Amino acid sequence: MIRKNILQARRVVVKIGTSSLILPNGKINLSNIDDLAFTLSDLNNKGYEVILVTSGAVGVGMNVLGLEKKPDELEKKQALASIGQVELMSLYTQVFHRYSQKVSQLLLTRDVIDYPESRKNATNALEALLELDIIPIINENDAIAVDEMEHQTRFGDNDTLGAIVAKLVGADLMIMLSDIDGLYDRNPNLYEDAKIFREIHEITDNLMAIAGGAGSKFGTGGMASKLTAAALLFENGQEMVLSNGSRIREIQAIVEGKEIGTYFAKL
Protein backbone atom coordinates (compact mmCIF):
# COMPACT_ATOMS: atom_id res chain seq x y z
CA MET A 1 0.00 0.00 0.00
CA ILE A 2 1.37 3.40 -1.02
CA ARG A 3 0.90 6.41 1.27
CA LYS A 4 -0.03 8.80 -1.52
CA ASN A 5 0.10 12.02 0.49
CA ILE A 6 3.77 11.47 1.28
CA LEU A 7 4.57 11.44 -2.44
CA GLN A 8 3.81 15.17 -2.48
CA ALA A 9 6.29 15.96 0.32
CA ARG A 10 9.27 18.08 -0.66
CA ARG A 11 10.35 19.72 2.61
CA VAL A 12 11.31 17.05 5.14
CA VAL A 13 12.51 17.25 8.75
CA VAL A 14 14.41 14.20 9.97
CA LYS A 15 14.84 13.77 13.73
CA ILE A 16 17.39 11.28 15.04
CA GLY A 17 17.68 10.22 18.67
CA THR A 18 20.69 9.47 20.82
CA SER A 19 20.00 5.72 20.69
CA SER A 20 20.61 5.82 16.93
CA LEU A 21 23.87 7.75 17.31
CA ILE A 22 25.50 6.06 20.30
CA LEU A 23 26.17 2.33 20.57
CA PRO A 24 25.25 0.41 23.75
CA ASN A 25 28.95 0.45 24.74
CA GLY A 26 29.01 4.26 24.64
CA LYS A 27 30.97 4.53 21.39
CA ILE A 28 29.73 6.58 18.44
CA ASN A 29 27.68 4.66 15.86
CA LEU A 30 29.76 5.63 12.84
CA SER A 31 27.90 3.39 10.38
CA ASN A 32 24.57 5.00 11.29
CA ILE A 33 26.01 8.49 10.91
CA ASP A 34 27.43 7.53 7.52
CA ASP A 35 24.05 6.12 6.43
CA LEU A 36 22.36 9.30 7.63
CA ALA A 37 24.73 11.57 5.70
CA PHE A 38 24.45 9.46 2.54
CA THR A 39 20.65 9.27 2.66
CA LEU A 40 20.01 12.94 3.41
CA SER A 41 22.57 14.06 0.83
CA ASP A 42 20.92 11.81 -1.73
CA LEU A 43 17.50 13.29 -0.92
CA ASN A 44 18.91 16.78 -1.28
CA ASN A 45 20.36 15.87 -4.67
CA LYS A 46 16.91 14.68 -5.73
CA GLY A 47 15.35 18.05 -4.97
CA TYR A 48 14.09 17.58 -1.42
CA GLU A 49 14.67 20.31 1.15
CA VAL A 50 16.03 18.53 4.21
CA ILE A 51 16.51 19.63 7.82
CA LEU A 52 18.16 17.38 10.41
CA VAL A 53 17.22 17.65 14.09
CA THR A 54 19.77 15.74 16.11
CA SER A 55 20.23 14.61 19.67
CA GLY A 56 23.43 13.09 21.03
CA ALA A 57 25.57 15.98 22.32
CA VAL A 58 25.75 14.66 25.89
CA GLY A 59 26.35 11.09 24.71
CA VAL A 60 29.17 12.20 22.41
CA GLY A 61 30.61 14.33 25.22
CA MET A 62 30.69 11.28 27.47
CA ASN A 63 32.51 9.39 24.72
CA VAL A 64 35.09 12.19 24.36
CA LEU A 65 35.84 12.15 28.10
CA GLY A 66 35.61 8.37 28.42
CA LEU A 67 32.75 8.47 30.92
CA GLU A 68 30.60 5.38 31.42
CA LYS A 69 27.91 7.07 33.51
CA LYS A 70 26.09 10.36 33.00
CA PRO A 71 26.79 12.74 35.91
CA ASP A 72 23.95 13.82 38.19
CA GLU A 73 25.05 17.46 38.44
CA LEU A 74 23.30 19.77 35.97
CA GLU A 75 26.40 21.88 35.36
CA LYS A 76 28.42 18.79 34.43
CA LYS A 77 25.72 17.69 31.98
CA GLN A 78 25.84 21.17 30.45
CA ALA A 79 29.62 20.89 30.13
CA LEU A 80 29.27 17.49 28.44
CA ALA A 81 26.74 18.95 26.01
CA SER A 82 29.14 21.76 25.14
CA ILE A 83 32.04 19.36 24.56
CA GLY A 84 29.92 16.85 22.68
CA GLN A 85 28.21 19.37 20.40
CA VAL A 86 31.56 20.49 18.96
CA GLU A 87 32.61 16.89 18.34
CA LEU A 88 29.22 15.91 16.92
CA MET A 89 29.18 18.78 14.42
CA SER A 90 32.78 18.10 13.44
CA LEU A 91 31.81 14.51 12.70
CA TYR A 92 28.69 15.50 10.77
CA THR A 93 30.68 18.02 8.72
CA GLN A 94 33.31 15.42 7.79
CA VAL A 95 30.83 12.70 6.86
CA PHE A 96 28.47 14.94 4.88
CA HIS A 97 31.52 16.37 3.06
CA ARG A 98 32.23 12.82 1.86
CA TYR A 99 28.99 13.10 -0.15
CA SER A 100 29.69 16.68 -1.31
CA GLN A 101 26.94 18.07 0.92
CA LYS A 102 27.34 21.30 2.89
CA VAL A 103 25.76 21.56 6.33
CA SER A 104 25.23 24.26 8.94
CA GLN A 105 24.49 24.35 12.66
CA LEU A 106 21.67 26.03 14.56
CA LEU A 107 21.34 25.70 18.35
CA LEU A 108 17.92 26.69 19.63
CA THR A 109 16.28 27.33 22.98
CA ARG A 110 12.56 27.53 23.70
CA ASP A 111 12.55 31.29 24.23
CA VAL A 112 13.81 31.83 20.68
CA ILE A 113 10.62 30.21 19.41
CA ASP A 114 8.35 31.89 21.95
CA TYR A 115 9.33 35.46 21.04
CA PRO A 116 7.97 36.61 17.64
CA GLU A 117 11.05 38.57 16.54
CA SER A 118 13.44 35.77 17.48
CA ARG A 119 11.18 33.20 15.85
CA LYS A 120 11.13 35.27 12.64
CA ASN A 121 14.94 35.45 12.67
CA ALA A 122 15.23 31.68 13.11
CA THR A 123 12.75 31.07 10.30
CA ASN A 124 14.55 33.47 7.97
CA ALA A 125 17.89 31.79 8.67
CA LEU A 126 16.48 28.36 7.91
CA GLU A 127 14.80 29.52 4.71
CA ALA A 128 18.05 31.13 3.53
CA LEU A 129 20.03 27.96 4.24
CA LEU A 130 17.56 25.78 2.34
CA GLU A 131 17.67 28.19 -0.58
CA LEU A 132 21.46 27.80 -0.61
CA ASP A 133 21.08 24.01 -0.85
CA ILE A 134 22.53 23.51 2.62
CA ILE A 135 21.22 21.00 5.17
CA PRO A 136 20.70 22.74 8.54
CA ILE A 137 21.56 20.58 11.54
CA ILE A 138 19.61 21.64 14.62
CA ASN A 139 19.97 20.72 18.26
CA GLU A 140 18.74 22.21 21.49
CA ASN A 141 21.36 24.41 23.14
CA ASP A 142 21.74 22.05 26.08
CA ALA A 143 24.78 23.87 27.43
CA ILE A 144 22.68 26.89 28.46
CA ALA A 145 19.03 25.79 28.33
CA VAL A 146 17.27 25.81 31.70
CA ASP A 147 13.76 25.04 32.88
CA GLU A 148 12.49 27.66 35.32
CA MET A 149 8.96 28.82 36.10
CA GLU A 150 9.24 32.29 34.59
CA HIS A 151 11.85 31.70 31.93
CA GLN A 152 11.55 28.34 30.24
CA THR A 153 14.28 27.81 27.68
CA ARG A 154 14.15 24.02 27.32
CA PHE A 155 11.97 22.29 24.74
CA GLY A 156 11.74 19.32 27.08
CA ASP A 157 12.97 16.79 24.52
CA ASN A 158 14.16 16.74 20.93
CA ASP A 159 10.99 15.02 19.73
CA THR A 160 9.17 18.23 20.62
CA LEU A 161 11.98 20.29 19.10
CA GLY A 162 11.63 18.36 15.84
CA ALA A 163 7.89 19.03 15.67
CA ILE A 164 8.40 22.72 16.46
CA VAL A 165 11.04 23.03 13.74
CA ALA A 166 8.71 21.28 11.29
CA LYS A 167 5.98 23.79 12.12
CA LEU A 168 8.45 26.68 11.94
CA VAL A 169 9.46 25.93 8.35
CA GLY A 170 6.13 24.51 7.16
CA ALA A 171 7.61 21.07 6.48
CA ASP A 172 5.47 18.59 4.58
CA LEU A 173 6.74 15.61 6.53
CA MET A 174 8.67 14.75 9.67
CA ILE A 175 10.52 11.44 9.86
CA MET A 176 11.30 10.44 13.43
CA LEU A 177 14.03 7.83 13.82
CA SER A 178 13.81 5.89 17.06
CA ASP A 179 14.92 2.58 18.58
CA ILE A 180 11.71 0.83 17.60
CA ASP A 181 9.91 0.04 14.32
CA GLY A 182 6.87 2.19 15.13
CA LEU A 183 4.02 2.50 17.63
CA TYR A 184 2.81 -0.84 19.01
CA ASP A 185 -0.28 -1.77 20.98
CA ARG A 186 2.05 -3.07 23.71
CA ASN A 187 5.77 -3.19 24.36
CA PRO A 188 7.27 -5.52 21.70
CA ASN A 189 10.30 -6.11 23.90
CA LEU A 190 8.05 -7.81 26.44
CA TYR A 191 5.18 -9.24 24.37
CA GLU A 192 5.74 -11.44 21.30
CA ASP A 193 2.18 -10.81 20.08
CA ALA A 194 2.57 -7.00 20.08
CA LYS A 195 1.08 -5.48 16.92
CA ILE A 196 2.28 -2.35 15.18
CA PHE A 197 -0.08 0.49 14.27
CA ARG A 198 0.48 1.24 10.59
CA GLU A 199 -1.57 4.47 10.62
CA ILE A 200 -2.67 6.87 13.35
CA HIS A 201 -5.13 9.65 12.59
CA GLU A 202 -5.89 10.95 16.09
CA ILE A 203 -3.89 11.16 19.31
CA THR A 204 -6.29 9.82 21.90
CA ASP A 205 -6.05 9.32 25.66
CA ASN A 206 -6.02 5.58 25.00
CA LEU A 207 -2.97 5.90 22.75
CA MET A 208 -1.18 8.02 25.33
CA ALA A 209 -1.92 5.35 27.94
CA ILE A 210 -0.48 2.69 25.63
CA ALA A 211 2.64 4.79 25.13
CA GLY A 212 3.10 5.27 28.86
CA GLY A 213 3.36 8.51 30.76
CA ALA A 214 6.45 10.32 31.95
CA GLY A 215 8.79 7.96 33.76
CA SER A 216 6.83 4.87 32.71
CA LYS A 217 8.86 1.72 32.12
CA PHE A 218 6.33 0.72 29.48
CA GLY A 219 7.07 3.68 27.22
CA THR A 220 9.59 2.21 24.79
CA GLY A 221 11.96 4.78 23.35
CA GLY A 222 10.13 7.71 24.93
CA MET A 223 6.98 6.88 22.97
CA ALA A 224 4.77 9.37 24.83
CA SER A 225 6.93 12.28 23.66
CA LYS A 226 6.64 11.03 20.09
CA LEU A 227 2.84 11.09 20.30
CA THR A 228 3.02 14.59 21.75
CA ALA A 229 5.16 15.63 18.78
CA ALA A 230 2.62 14.08 16.38
CA ALA A 231 -0.18 16.01 18.10
CA LEU A 232 1.75 19.26 17.56
CA LEU A 233 2.09 18.45 13.87
CA PHE A 234 -1.61 17.62 13.59
CA GLU A 235 -2.38 21.19 14.69
CA ASN A 236 -0.79 22.38 11.46
CA GLY A 237 -2.06 19.62 9.18
CA GLN A 238 1.41 18.05 8.94
CA GLU A 239 2.39 14.39 8.80
CA MET A 240 4.94 12.18 10.53
CA VAL A 241 6.43 8.73 10.12
CA LEU A 242 7.98 6.94 13.10
CA SER A 243 10.54 4.36 12.01
CA ASN A 244 13.59 2.48 13.19
CA GLY A 245 16.86 4.41 13.36
CA SER A 246 18.86 1.22 12.86
CA ARG A 247 17.67 1.17 9.22
CA ILE A 248 18.29 4.77 8.21
CA ARG A 249 18.40 4.11 4.47
CA GLU A 250 14.70 3.22 4.63
CA ILE A 251 14.11 6.98 4.63
CA GLN A 252 14.26 6.78 0.84
CA ALA A 253 11.45 4.22 0.82
CA ILE A 254 9.45 6.32 3.28
CA VAL A 255 9.45 9.39 1.02
CA GLU A 256 8.41 7.07 -1.83
CA GLY A 257 5.27 6.36 0.18
CA LYS A 258 6.07 2.77 1.11
CA GLU A 259 4.49 1.28 4.23
CA ILE A 260 7.31 1.54 6.74
CA GLY A 261 6.90 2.35 10.42
CA THR A 262 3.83 4.14 11.78
CA TYR A 263 2.29 6.91 9.69
CA PHE A 264 0.67 9.81 11.53
CA ALA A 265 -1.73 11.94 9.50
CA LYS A 266 -4.89 13.72 10.61
CA LEU A 267 -7.91 12.97 8.47
In whole angstroms, give the CA distance from residue 202 to residue 230.
9
Task: Please indicate if the annotation marks 179 as binding a ligand.
Answer: yes
Residues 6+ apart with CB under 8 A from 92: 33, 37, 54, 103, 137
Does the annotation list 178 as a binding residue? yes
31 a known binding residue? no
| Residue type at position 119 | R
- The answer to whether the annotation marks 157 as part of a ligand binding site is no
Written as one letter, the residue type at 49 is E
The span from the CA of 96 to the CA of 1, in Å, is 33
Pair 203, 266: CB distance under 8 Å:
no
The answer to whether 55 is annotated as binding is: yes
63 labelled ligand-binding: no
Question: Is 193 assigned to a binding site?
Answer: no
Q: Are 8 and 48 in contact (CB under 8 A)?
A: no
Helix H or strand E encompassing 200: strand 199-200
DSSP symbol at 66? T
Backbone dihedral angles phi then psi of residue 163, each to the nearest 5 degrees: -65, -40
180 burial (CB, 10 Å; 0-12 / 13-18 / 19+) is buried
Is 142 annotated to bind ligand? yes
**Amino acid residing at 69:** K
Q: What residue numbers does the annotated binding site for ATP cover?
A: 15, 178-179, 220-226
Q: What residue numbers does the annotated binding site cover?
A: 15, 55, 142, 158, 178-179, 220-226
Q: What residue numbers does the annotated binding site for substrate cover?
A: 55, 142, 158
